[in-house]
């Protein structure tokens, strides 16, 4: 038995090594740097400044603005994605001709690299030449072109729009997997006894799906809180719509202030760690399934 245990760890060794090298060590160093005044040009030469970086951070208006932006994006986009994802999951769960095609089509937004999506939407939302303004004007919903990206408050709306478009498919797949693991007779009840689907959904499916929905929402929230790519492209350097990740990277790399940037990253890390604990405790169930 003892020999077998040693071989277990032998098999695990490369993986553990890689995880320590690429995740554990850099993470500890980032936390370490947040107590120093290190700069990007010279990472060897620094002195300890205690919690000064965190104090500066707490007084930084832009940081709180970024926290608020991140919060708004997560709180608005995750529920939207859940509702739309649920709708799509219910569509995909039905047995109909062309379901395979539908599944492939729904996957497309998820496949497209975030940067490409951001660029595509930036073009569609372009205030002068964009097709969205054009369509809205043709339908006479608006009188003048809307500056979707240039305007501070609207750029958050654009970011949420693109994020919802991009991640709803993923949400739909998670929820679809949940639907498929339910006892299938609860769907048949609708067809056989001609009970309105709305009723079956609220009374039976939704309560059964509750754990899946909660876990999927936490999972997506963790993702939304660290959002970077979309915001980087769609806010085009505008600090008014920056998120925590964008703020941290700007100070770390663009202003080469590793100490302060690391402090911002660490603050984000603790924020996410809190959410992770929540997530892991919900996902415990999954581990028991593994046994």
Partner 1 sequence: MIKPENKWKYKKYIKNVVFCLLCLGVACACLFPFYWAVVSSLRDGADLFSTDLWPARITFDNYRYVIHDETFSSSFFNSFVIATLTSLVALAVCLFAAYPLARHRFPGRKRMLMTALSITTLPHVAVLSGMFELIRILDIYNEKSALVLAYMIITVPFTLWVMTNFMNNIPKDIEEAAIMDGASQYTILMKVFFPILSPAVVTTGLLAFIAAWNEFLFALTFTQTNQARTVPVALALFSGASQHELPWGLIMAASVLVTLPLILLVVVFQRRIISGLTAGSVKG
For partner 1, the binding residues in 209-248 under the rule CB under 8 A are 209, 211-212, 215-216, 219, 222, 225-226, 228-229, 232-233, 244-245, 248
Q: Is there binding between residue 49 and partner 1 (CB under 8 A)? A: no
Q: Is there binding between residue 135 and partner 1 (CB under 8 A)? A: yes
Q: Is there binding between residue 53 and partner 1 (CB under 8 A)? A: no
Collapsed DSSP state (helix, strand, coil) of residue 192: helix
Nearer to partner 1, 51 or 280 (CB): 280
Task: Tell me the site size for partner 1, rule CB under 8 A.
Answer: 106
Distance between CA atoms of 79 and 96, rounded to whole angstroms?
A: 28
The sign of the dihedral angle between the CA atoms of 199, 202, 207, 208 is positive
Q: Is there binding between residue 71 and partner 1 (CB under 8 A)? A: no
Half-sphere exposure of 34 (CA within 13 A, CB side): 21
CB of 280 to partner 1, least distance (A): 6
Q: Is there binding between residue 66 and partner 1 (CB under 8 A)? A: no
What mask of x and - would describe binding to partner 1 in positions 80 to 119, judged by CB under 8 A? -------xx--x--x-x-x-x-xxxxxxxx-xxxxxxx-x
What mask of x and - would describe binding to partner 1 in positions 164 to 203, judged by CB under 8 A? -x---xx--xx-xxx--x----------------------
CB of 118 to partner 1, least distance (A): 8
Q: Is there binding between residue 64 and partner 1 (CB under 8 A)? A: no
DSSP state of 42: -
Q: Hey, what are 262's tokens?
A: 């690391």
Distance between CA atoms of 239 and 250, rounded to whole angstroms?
A: 10
CB of 58 to partner 1, least distance (A): 18
What are the CA-CA distances from residue 84 to residues 142, 276, 285, 286 (Å)? 25, 24, 26, 25
Are 212 and 286 contacting, i.e. CB atoms less than 8 angstroms apart? no
Q: Is there binding between residue 286 and partner 1 (CB under 8 A)? A: yes
Q: Is there binding between residue 151 and partner 1 (CB under 8 A)? A: no
Distance between CA atoms of 25 and 22, rounded to whole angstroms?
A: 7
CB of 166 to partner 1, least distance (A): 10
Q: Is there binding between residue 29 and partner 1 (CB under 8 A)? A: yes
Q: Is there binding between residue 67 and partner 1 (CB under 8 A)? A: no
Q: Among 60, 134, 136, 147, which residue sits at the site for partner 1 (rule: CB under 8 A)?
A: 134
Nearer to partner 1, 159 or 209 (CB): 209
DSSP state of 205: I
Distance between CA atoms of 192 and 175, rounded to whole angstroms?
A: 24
Collapsed DSSP state (helix, strand, coil) of residue 43: coil
Q: Residue with structure tokens 């120093």?
A: 36
Q: Residue with structure tokens 């245990």?
A: 5
Collapsed DSSP state (helix, strand, coil) of residue 36: strand
């Amino acid at each position: 038995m003892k020999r077998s245990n040693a071989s277990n760890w032998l098999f695990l060794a490369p993986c553990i090594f890689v995880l320590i090298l690429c995740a554990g060590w850099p993470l500890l160093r980032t936390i370490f740097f947040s107590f120093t005044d290190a700069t990007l040009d010279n990472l060897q030469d620094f002195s300890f400044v205690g919690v000064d970086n965190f104090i500066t951070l707490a007084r930084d208006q832009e940081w709180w603005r970024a926290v608020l932006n991140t919060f708004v994006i997560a709180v608005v986009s995750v529920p939207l994605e859940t509702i739309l994802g649920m709708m799509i999951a219910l569509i995909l769960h039905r047995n109909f001709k062309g379901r395979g095609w539908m599944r492939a089509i729904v996957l497309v937004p998820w496949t497209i690299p975030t940067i490409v999506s951001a660029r595509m939407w930036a073009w569609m939302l372009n205030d002068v030449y964009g097709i969205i303004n054009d369509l809205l004007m043709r339908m006479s919903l608006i009188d003048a072109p809307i500056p979707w990206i240039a305007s501070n408050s609207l750029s958050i709306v654009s970011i949420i729009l693109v994020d919802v478009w991009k991640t709803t498919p993923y949400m739909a797949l998670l929820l679809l997997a949940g639907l498929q693991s339910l006892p299938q007779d609860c769907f048949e009840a609708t067809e056989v006894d001609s009970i309105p689907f709305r009723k079956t959904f609220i009374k039976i499916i939704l309560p059964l799906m509750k754990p899946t929905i909660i876990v999927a929402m936490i999972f997506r929230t963790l993702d939304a809180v660290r959002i970077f790519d979309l915001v980087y492209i769609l806010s085009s350097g505008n600090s008014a719509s920056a998120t925590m990740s964008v703020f941290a990277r700007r100070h770390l790399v663009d202003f080469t202030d590793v100490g302060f940037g690391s402090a911002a990253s660490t603050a984000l890390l603790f924020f996410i760690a809190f959410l992770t604990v929540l997530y892991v405790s919900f996902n415990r169930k999954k581990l028991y399934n593994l046994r």
